[in-house]
Chain A
């Protein structure tokens, strides 16, 4: 069984590299409106534990298809020899600058690659495409046409009619906007080009689907660890005596904020890497919510819980704790425990929301004093962190690797992000956040619970 290989070919600037970037999840693929950006054929193997299951090959576009077809016609020896004539053309013009691009794109096809011919369905069909399609037919290799949608126009029907003359399979695929399921569907469809490729392509699709699930869990674990870290982070500085020093406190406060912000950035970088968006960082939009200062009022307003939600969540958590007391007393308390617990929880959540982190002056065991700031106790803070992280992971997970613009957020749509978290899940998360605030750590079971909850949120985000 031969290795499934696919040469992505077509006119220049019709999205060949975009399709490769999307399917290979490689944001380092050079994509440019300038024709001729791709000058050499370049392989993108899909490997599972080092074993290649299929290979995509990005190629330059046709530049002189009519001249080449003229050469082929001039050397035609009948239908049975046409592949050989194409091979002769490539051999004779190897190293000739005039047909550099044609040789580059035809060589992998002559080596057995299937053909994925890409056109732009948002622009009108033109007869100048026919010579290149004819050249591809001469190669005799199995082939499929992909109608890519680069712009807003819709000329799919006229393209479909024309492409059907040269290709047995024609599919529409939007390289910029296709989600993961569409990509997997397309990958499986490649099996229709050559049925001997069906099994490895299905294996590859299954492996990619499993990897997709793993990414969600890994991203959730990264967010969970981010929350654990920022909710337990403290900063300290030595003090000459036990009197608090406002200047030292301001310095330590700035340091704490910087530490938390850097940790958030590190988590974002990791999430981006998990989703193979290694080049995304440099393209973050300056005006995006994601670059909004973590500690700004706007950040708290957009990503945090509202006062009423905070009170409700605090009350619910307090009621659970009070309810335990009631249960121990067999109801003899007339459920006063739950009531008092709810009141304490709600009040604590509201009162606590005005302070960010506690400040302490501590005596040291072997002498001296230390001003310690943190951990951050504001009950809304973990929700702000979580909201920002979920938004980021959603944008990154949805994002296509062919896109080159900055991450953009629809502010209206995402106003009050934490609203999306249902009350039951909020209570569970609130319990974990409280443990972190009170004990400074969570055990392995709670960490797993936190990851599971965040994974569920990532899936629904």
Chain B
């Protein structure tokens, strides 16, 4: 992939992550998570500008790339539209309008729900990395953020080590929730 494609892909991946975070901020009526969505939206604004600048440069030097550039710009516009929508969901929470019980319920009952798991001292997950346990493959639950002490780790990677006391926010199907929670609280020992 060239630089333009790498940037566009980052834009896309981040926009999807923002939507997940925005819905979870709503489920827990949590302003910190909502703030992260706003922060990511600002970084995407910068990235969008870079993509446009790079695309224009490319168009000036290689005229046969103009069709490709049009596609890049159209994709970038649509992706930013999704990011803006995520931002406006987070905005509801930040304005203090996220208390209506129907909001949380509608997310809990959706096909892809969001669940919290608190990692206990005797959980089999303690001390392991996400790469070691491949949680999403075994439980269907994909961890989008971890609350550790008073801070959040957004988008933990394969190398992130799980610690006792972590609160993991994961998205996935309803059927995966019980096993995920049991793994976290130490009831389930089998990975």
Partners in one complex: no
